[in-house]
Structure 1
Amino acid sequence: MPEQRSRPKEGRVIALANQKGGTGKTTTTVNLGIGLARLGQKVLLIDADPQGDLTTCLGWQDQDSLQTTIATIMEKVIRDEPFSVDEGILHHKEGVDLMPANIELSAMEMSLVNAMSREFTLRTYVNEVKKNYDTVLIDCMPSLGMITINALAAADSVIIPVQAHYLPAKGMTQLMRTIGKVRRQINPSLKVDGVLLTLVDGRTNLAKQTAETLRQSYGSVLKIYRSEIPVAIKAAEISAAGKSIYAYDNGSKVAQAYPAPPGRR
């Protein structure tokens, strides 16, 4: 592993968001995060989905047994109670840290409705914890509710994973409107890093057409990463294995697609 460089004053915070499920947000969060760790960065992954898929993917199957999750910390913020930046953080053997989630985060969605400065609850935590990391990745839930708004309020930028199996124009438009609204009203510095095509089956005309249509429709206003994440059975298997594609099958096409962060491609 390369020599670890000194910590920055504050790490970069990236949200991975798409209100449609099944677009590869969690898989991208895991492999991008561990890929950055392999490059020598200190990385924190935050699970911002009540389903806890990111937590499961990293090997913590029994989420309900976790004493501290992101919901615990957000509840403390709402109640104006003190919290520790390392409280509840789990350490994965491949060099990333995880702030886990479970079903308790669903109740937090309702709690935020009546909370003071409700859009900034997660940001209060992230602003403190990011001082200890080079990069913080937030795996958003497949909706545009209050938890996702909190993630966008806390982030410096957004990566949008888009499944290449269908024409996602309508969903993309809705997501971009939400990001634009967050930028105008809550987080003026929020940027879109780009769109990452996932689950790409290069053998089909549909995947090629979808990629081309995306580039034609959004290429003038959004970066469409040249890197495309291919569809592969092994990429799906890593969720059950609790490890990244590098540890599971480092020679696969998926592993070769992820080694550098998409922003460097």
Structure 2
Amino acid sequence: MAERASKASGKSSTKDDTPLGPTGRPYHGFATPPALATHGPARIIALCNQKGGVGKTTTTINLAASLANYGRKVLAVDFDPQGALSAGLGIHPHDMPTIYDLLLDTKRDPHEAIVHTSVEGLDVIPANIDLSAAEVHLVNEVARETILARVLRNITPEYDVVLIDCQPSLGLLTVNALTASHGVLIPLECEFFALRGVALLIETIDKVRDRLNPSITLDGVLATMYDPRTLHSREVLERVVEAFGDDVLETVIGRTVKFPDASVSGMPITEFAPEHAAAQAYLRLARELVSRGAVA
């Protein structure tokens, strides 16, 4: 009976009865991170995948809120012209400075564009459709790949982590995000076509490391929209683990309708439905990244 129940849940156990998570590794709860005595300088992490709809923005919002919940000072940078990160946190940046204004005038005080959210410890630099014109304006700039790094330089001492929500492309904006970052987190939908494009993204990261930012590291591959009831989800996750090994985070984000509900409300799921399994998964992700040293 126990064996049948274990198979039905999509998990099994090791010989010492330690349960296995969806990635096939022993499940760790990860300890609650200790409070920080001081804040900064921030470690910058780009959330990047050229395929749309894989959970980049959802992960940025909820990871940022989860880290703030553990006492970290977090800045989320909306770097997508669709402005979904801003909207998902209840910000409507129509008549306010945005990241676009800071890119066009790097001497401008970036504090002018920082918006405090309803989540204590979480700030945002918003974006709107104006950002879609940035690549055209920046293409003739000297050292155009480092402009975002110059913008963030003056505010990183005030935060513990900066999360950059990249647009679904590998264009100049994404290269700017990778050049400015210490690490990359790749949200990857548990679906075959999402898996196909990851090799191209890894190649882009390698090129940035070789030519622009030698210190950038892969902080992890995060499986999202996982549905343990489907063979397809389980097979894709298995292939991801085979391809990336320990770079695949143990935390897996399941598929749920609570995410769009929370977005409509302009709140992270950790505030909208704190007891929901999805909220607990993002809190666990925050703890895992702290335990891995990706976040202070």
Task: Please give the range of the TM-score, normalised by the shorter of the 2 chains.
Answer: over 0.9
**Residues 57 and 242 in structure 1, CA contact (< 8 A), matched pair in contact too:** yes
- Aligned residue number for residue 92 of structure 1: 117
> Helix, strand or coil for the counterpart of 2:103?
helix
Is 160-169 or 138-147 further displaced after alignment?
160-169
**Residues 30 and 244 in structure 1, CA contact (< 8 A), matched pair in contact too:** yes
1:149-168 correspondence runs (5 A): 149-168=175-194
- Aligned residue number for residue 40 of structure 1: 71
Segments of 4+ moved more than 6 angstroms: none
Q: TM-score, normalised by structure 2?
A: 0.83
Give the superposition deviation at 1:84: 1.6
- Aligned residue number for residue 249 of structure 1: 273
Q: Which amino acid aligns with 2:87?
A: T
Structure 1: state its 5+ residue gaps.
none
1:193 and 2:219 matched: yes
Cα distance in 2 for residues equivalent to 1:5 and 1:200: 37
1:177 and 2:233 matched: no
- The number of aligned residues is 256
2:102 is aligned, of 36, 51, 73, to 73
Q: Give the structure with higher Rg (CA).
A: 2
The Cα offsets for residues 22-59 of structure 1, whole Å up to 9 and x where unpaired, read as 00000100110010001001000000000000001000
Cα distance in 2 for residues equivalent to 1:169 and 1:94: 33
Cα distance in 2 for residues equivalent to 1:253 and 1:233: 12
> Helix, strand or coil for the counterpart of 1:258?
helix
- Aligned residue number for residue 64 of structure 1: 94
**Residues 5 and 40 in structure 1, CA contact (< 8 A), matched pair in contact too:** no
Give the superposition deviation at 1:168: 3.2
Q: TM-score, normalised by structure 1?
A: 0.93
1:209 and 2:235 matched: yes
2:244 is aligned, of 207, 218, 221, to 218
Q: Which amino acid aligns with 2:38?
A: S
Give the superposition deviation at 1:4: 5.5
Structure 2: state its 5+ residue gaps.
1-33
**Residues 54 and 194 in structure 2, CA contact (< 8 A), matched pair in contact too:** no
Cα distance in 1 for residues equivalent to 2:264 and 2:237: 29
The Cα offsets for residues 108-148 of structure 1, whole Å up to 9 and x where unpaired, read as 11111111110000000112111110000000000000000
Q: What is the identity percentage for the equivalent residue pairs of Structure 1 and Structure 2?
A: 40
1:259 and 2:283 matched: yes
- Aligned residue number for residue 16 of structure 2: none
Give the superposition deviation at 1:85: 3.4
